[in-house]
Structure 1
Amino acid sequence: MNLTSFSPCRPGRLARLTALAGALGGLILTASAQQMSRLSARGPQIVNAEGQPVVLRGVNVGGWLLQESYILKTDTLDCQRRIQQGLLRVMPEQDVEEFYRQYRAGFVTRADIDFIAKQGFNCVRLPFHYDLFLTREQRRARTKALQNPKSDVALTEYVQTLSQWYDAGQLFTAPDLDGIQAIDNVLGWCAANNLYVVLDLHAAPGGQGTDPNINDNFRPLDLWKRRDAKGRLIYQDLTVRLWEQLAKRYKNDARIAMYDLVNEPHNLNAANGLSPDNQELSAFYSRLIDAVRAQNDGHLLLLEGNGYGNEYTNLTPDKLKIRDKTGLVYNAHRYWCPNDAAARDPNPNQINLVRNLAAFRDRWQVPVWVGETGENSNEWFAAAVQQLNAQNIGWCHWNLKRVDAGSSLLRVPPYGSILTAAGRAALLRNAQFANCSVNRDALFALTRPADARQPFAANTLPGTLMAADYDLGREGLAYHDTYNARIDYRELKPTNSGQAYRNDGVDVQAITDAGGNGFGVGHTEAGEWLSYTVTVPKAGSYALQLRATNAGAAPARLRLQLNDAALGSFSVAPGGAGWQTIDGGTARLPAGTHTLRLVVEQPGAVLSWLRFTDAKAAAQGGQ
């Protein structure tokens, strides 16, 4: 039964049915849900029902229940609302709804969750849009408003419609909401893999900041500013109501680790007409916490500070005006900042630096968790997670999937334009788990020890080594590149200047050399190097060759080492002569497994491959 079909003049019956649905939702748990151990806070630790510490290390499934433009490579469209506006210009509204139904059905599935579990993670953070908890009929009112994005009249009409539904008890109550179905699916898939789930309200009603890509809002900061005809901060009322309904349904569900009440509030400041010290956020969190606890829900509650989740002035436990101060967890989102253990922010309530994060935990005796971290190079990932692991601080990588990108765990093949029928069909197909490729280097950086190194490709000599297939491992161990991690958010230079294939500091670019694998190493600087683990089954003399091109004005020079001993050298002629195969002489290679190192002495070349051939056979072939 669709509860929204009841008239506002019959609120009593609606309230009784809503209460019954909430009670049933809170009682009906699967066997797998019962097997999960309920998490709680004990001082600065998260513990299970047996009192054992649990450190949550997981993956975000962003871009699924809220589309972010850069994840889908639709950057000019800026946010989900504008993607939908574009779609509505080329197809009827019912077809847009059908596209999104198919998109939600395929972008993340059981196969994706199984993959996450197999990599050793123990949780999934589930970012979602509030509009998935509207009925499809109610969502039409939002669609009508987004089709007139600059119209204050259309926005006011939408707000008043929400107010009427709110007063009638007709919001977030239907049993078949798209958001509930998605949550229930993820809970089932995760519990089957012993993964916890963090429910994350990623796009709150009205928008929690100024960035539309995150908020998908109509106007900046409307969660904090927009009032309805009765003078209420109606979007805040809606957010409270949504969490009340979720708490009623899931309060007994041990599969859920935490409720992330509002993702990344930001730019709440005097310049935007709000207080300079988080007063609005403090009052709102107090209201949300009390609302959840009023449902007899003891789940951990994750708070996110101002400034994209990091600044907690007036949000510490002593400042929150709440009846129950237990079960609070404090969040940080770590992007483009130093991983140096000694780095410190002078503001103790700004906690994205690891030292501040640990100090905040110890000062307030509350658990802390990094709900998002990523969007950087593999070297930054490895340094970040190793610092956090050393402090027993959990973290959640952003993100599982991106289109044609190396920082996510899975790479979705390019699909064209989302505004064409062919592009949409390709997106739905390419985003399926079976059609994605694993970014093995990013995964290696997140899950392996600091001193780990292993071959990226199986290299047996004689044979050909692709230049871009250097070993997996950290900077200084598998490779050396002078700019290998972004530690300042103001620095927009990509760590991989070629922006292809791998996610290290090494600058890998697409190339057209017919004998290569489509990728070459360029943008080199003197002193940079690449390491390759090679196996030599039989000792012997080998002829060395390098395939490269040099568009510069001076020769490029490289030397080759075997286990730190000189092996050969190459000089790549300048002047844009095209791809050259350069002889590097002959060298004696002992049998066994060794490390080859290709060192840049004079930059300028783009490198395609190295080749080792049996010197005797090569000489005979040349006769």
Structure 2
Amino acid sequence: MHFKALAVLSYGALVAAWFPGEDRGIISSDGVDLFNRSSSDVSGKRWLPAGKIRGVNVGSLFVVEPWMMSNTWAKMGCGGVKSEFDCVLKLGQAAANTAFKGHWDTWVTQADLQEMISYGINTIRIPVGYWMKEDLVYADSEHFPQGGLTYLTRLCGWASDLGMYIIMDLHAAPGAQQPHNAFTGQDAPSAGFYVDYQFERALKFLEWMANLIHTNNNYRNVGMLELVNEPIQNSGNVGSMRSTYYPNAFSRIRAAERKLNIGAYDLLHIQMMNQKWGSGDPTQYLSDNWFAAYDDHRYLKWANIGDVSQSNYISTSCRDDRGGNTPTIVGEWSLSVPDNVEWTSGWDPRTQQDFYKKWFAAQIISYEKQQGWTFWSWKTELGDYRWDYQAAVKAGVIPKNLDSVYNMGVC
């Protein structure tokens, strides 16, 4: 990978970015070998062995998307409502807190992480909502579960102990970055994020999270902080996000790190959706993109690629160029196909395992031409492995030895 060399006077000499895949000696500005640094020392990062980011999202853990877990959602008392906001409003704060704590305690466990490791997964992407910092919530008008930070800290500690790389993703922004979408935590009638006072709330979240990552040992393997997941596409609203929010986020995160005297080798990567996402060039107004990273979401299910056929899906994925902004991680993708064909005989996952195995291979071969990938998602209650990494491995569609995809002759 290559990074644009920019002068960062406040951090001294330029250094190599912190990503999985570094297999050389990593020496910090204070002369300490970071690769061998004790995990009890919160001032340093733990580096992964050589290789690309190969990961999964822990979807619907801290930002519930009811379509993924309708049975659990109903058992929580949230059946019939569309988002976390609506569920808390329905149940009341105390009852909702109890229901969500039960969910956080069981949806992704330490055993899940150990299973991921056994499948060659080295990274988790954790979607979170701004309400994780509870004092940002407007008590008179916003309704979100409380107490999630304890479980986030536990998850990051488990993952760090296992040597996993962690991407922390601001998945749900103040005011909602998309209308009528549960991944924002609410069923908002319009995208209200793109105004200064909502940007300010998000910036306070990012400062707080950066400080937490650098001062709490459980977060020692969080190497990347994403500024906002899937901002609205093809809209004039996102111009203010690029011109105001992104530069201010860089400034505020770096200021928080500077206040903690974080060394140049230990800076967080700051991640934005890449230009291919459709909300503009994220670097347009940045004066400094050192330690920047980019997120690309690639769902052929909703892409206009012409012929909807198995051969076209595989050939499209084999030649798919997700580059442009560098380094890019394909942070969301799946094996799902268009709604109107997904359960027809030619696409039925119960009989078409060979196709889905080849299509999985074609996708990761292309995505590993970039920095790597994180599949959406680790688990669901859909009974459909096309969205469920754990189930796809058990179905024999995703190999436990991920390197084996390069020997399949798919591309």
| TM-score, length-scaled by structure 2 | 0.68
Q: Counterpart of 2:396?
A: 441
Residue identity matched to 1:82? D
Which residue of 381, 385, 402 maps to 2:380? 402
Q: After superposition, what is the alpha-carbon deviation per residue over 1:243-267, rounded to whole angstroms, capped at 9, x for unaligned?
A: 1111122236541120011111123
Deviation at 1:444, TM superposition (A): 2.4
Q: Counterpart of 1:245?
A: 208
Q: How does 1:274-313 map to 2 (within 5 A)?
A: 274=237, 278-296=239-257, 298-305=267-274, 310-311=277-278, 313=280
Q: After superposition, what is the alpha-carbon deviation per residue over 1:110-157, rounded to whole angstroms, capped at 9, x for unaligned?
A: 11111111111111111112223216997675239x9xxxxxxxxxxx
Residue identity matched to 1:265? P
Residue identity matched to 2:190? P
Q: How does 1:220-369 map to 2 (within 5 A)?
A: 220-225=190-195, 233-251=196-214, 254-267=220-233, 269-270=235-236, 274=237, 278-296=239-257, 298-305=267-274, 310-311=277-278, 313-316=280-283, 319-322=284-287, 324-336=288-300, 337=303, 355-358=320-323, 360-361=324-325, 366-369=326-329
Q: How does 1:519-534 map to 2 (within 5 A)?
A: none
Q: Distance in 2 between matches of 1:315 and 1:451?
A: 32
Contact 1:209 1:221 in 2 (8 A): yes
Q: Distance in 1 between matches of 2:327 and 2:57?
A: 19
Contact 1:208 1:265 in 2 (8 A): yes
Q: Distance in 2 between matches of 1:340 and 1:93?
A: 46
After superposition, the Cα gap between the structure-2 partners of 1:443 and 1:57, relative to the gap in structure 1 and judged at 3 Å, is: same
Contact 1:33 1:254 in 2 (8 A): no
Q: Structure 1, unaligned stretches of length 5 or more?
A: 1-29, 40-47, 147-176, 226-232, 344-351, 412-436, 454-473, 477-623
Contact 2:165 2:223 in 1 (8 A): yes
Contact 2:42 2:214 in 1 (8 A): no
After superposition, the Cα gap between the structure-2 partners of 1:388 and 1:206, relative to the gap in structure 1 and judged at 3 Å, is: same
Contact 1:67 1:80 in 2 (8 A): yes
Q: Distance in 1 between matches of 2:240 and 2:247?
A: 11
Residue identity matched to 1:189? W
Aligned residues: 326
After superposition, the Cα gap between the structure-2 partners of 1:401 and 1:38, relative to the gap in structure 1 and judged at 3 Å, is: same
| TM-score, length-scaled by structure 1 | 0.46
Contact 1:209 1:268 in 2 (8 A): no
Q: After superposition, what is the alpha-carbon deviation per residue over 1:583-613, rounded to whole angstroms, capped at 9, x for unaligned?
A: xxxxxxxxxxxxxxxxxxxxxxxxxxxxxxx
Contact 2:361 2:406 in 1 (8 A): no
The residue matched to 1:396 in structure 2 has which SS? strand
After superposition, the Cα gap between the structure-2 partners of 1:314 and 1:396, relative to the gap in structure 1 and judged at 3 Å, is: closer
Bigger helix share:
2
Q: Counterpart of 2:168?
A: 199
Deviation at 1:355, TM superposition (A): 4.7
Deviation at 1:382, TM superposition (A): 2.2
After superposition, the Cα gap between the structure-2 partners of 1:284 and 1:180, relative to the gap in structure 1 and judged at 3 Å, is: same
The residue matched to 2:248 in structure 1 has which SS? helix
The residue matched to 2:331 in structure 1 has which SS? strand
After superposition, the Cα gap between the structure-2 partners of 1:284 and 1:95, relative to the gap in structure 1 and judged at 3 Å, is: same
Q: Counterpart of 1:32?
A: 39
Q: Distance in 1 between matches of 2:240 and 2:182?
A: 25
Residue identity matched to 1:262? V
After superposition, the Cα gap between the structure-2 partners of 1:401 and 1:134, relative to the gap in structure 1 and judged at 3 Å, is: same
Which residue of 61, 65, 70 maps to 1:68? 65
Contact 2:207 2:253 in 1 (8 A): yes
Name the structure, 1 or 2, with higher relative contact order (CA <8 Å, separation 6+).
2
The residue matched to 2:128 in structure 1 has which SS? strand
Residue identity matched to 2:373? W
Q: Distance in 2 between matches of 1:249 and 1:106?
A: 24
Q: After superposition, what is the alpha-carbon deviation per residue over 1:380-418, rounded to whole angstroms, capped at 9, x for unaligned?
A: 3221012223x253000110110033220235xxxxxxx
Q: Distance in 2 between matches of 1:239 and 1:136?
A: 9
Percent identity between matched residues is 19
The residue matched to 2:399 in structure 1 has which SS? helix
Contact 1:60 1:398 in 2 (8 A): yes
Is residue 54 of structure 2 the alignment partner of residue 57 of structure 1?
A: yes
The residue matched to 2:143 in structure 1 has which SS? helix
Q: Distance in 2 between matches of 1:248 and 1:36?
A: 12
Residue identity matched to 1:372? E
Contact 1:133 1:178 in 2 (8 A): no
Q: After superposition, what is the alpha-carbon deviation per residue over 1:15-50, rounded to whole angstroms, capped at 9, x for unaligned?
A: xxxxxxxxxxxxxxx9536499748xxxxxxxx59x
Residue identity matched to 1:32? S
Q: Distance in 2 between matches of 1:245 and 1:196?
A: 20
Deviation at 1:283, TM superposition (A): 2.2
After superposition, the Cα gap between the structure-2 partners of 1:32 and 1:243, relative to the gap in structure 1 and judged at 3 Å, is: same
Q: Counterpart of 2:113?
A: 113
Residue identity matched to 1:236? F
Q: Distance in 2 between matches of 1:182 and 1:203?
A: 18
Q: Distance in 1 between matches of 2:299 and 2:271?
A: 19
After superposition, the Cα gap between the structure-2 partners of 1:341 and 1:70, relative to the gap in structure 1 and judged at 3 Å, is: closer
Q: Distance in 2 between matches of 1:372 and 1:205?
A: 21
Q: Counterpart of 1:81?
A: 85
Q: Distance in 2 between matches of 1:255 and 1:133?
A: 20
Bigger strand share:
1
Q: Distance in 2 between matches of 1:138 and 1:109?
A: 31
Residue identity matched to 1:216? G
Pick which of 117-126 and 379-388 moved more.
Answer: 379-388
Q: Distance in 2 between matches of 1:35 and 1:236?
A: 29
Q: Distance in 1 between matches of 2:213 and 2:286?
A: 25
Deviation at 1:448, TM superposition (A): 5.6
Q: Counterpart of 2:330?
A: 370
Contact 2:224 2:268 in 1 (8 A): yes
Q: How does 1:503-522 map to 2 (within 5 A)?
A: none
Q: Distance in 2 between matches of 1:81 and 1:71?
A: 17
After superposition, the Cα gap between the structure-2 partners of 1:334 and 1:77, relative to the gap in structure 1 and judged at 3 Å, is: same
Backbone CA RMSD of aligned residues: 3.7
Q: Distance in 2 between matches of 1:281 and 1:369?
A: 19
Q: Distance in 2 between matches of 1:107 and 1:330?
A: 28
Deviation at 1:313, TM superposition (A): 3.0
Contact 2:44 2:220 in 1 (8 A): yes
Q: For the pair shown, which has the larger CA radius of gyration, 1 or 2?
A: 1
Deviation at 1:439, TM superposition (A): 3.5
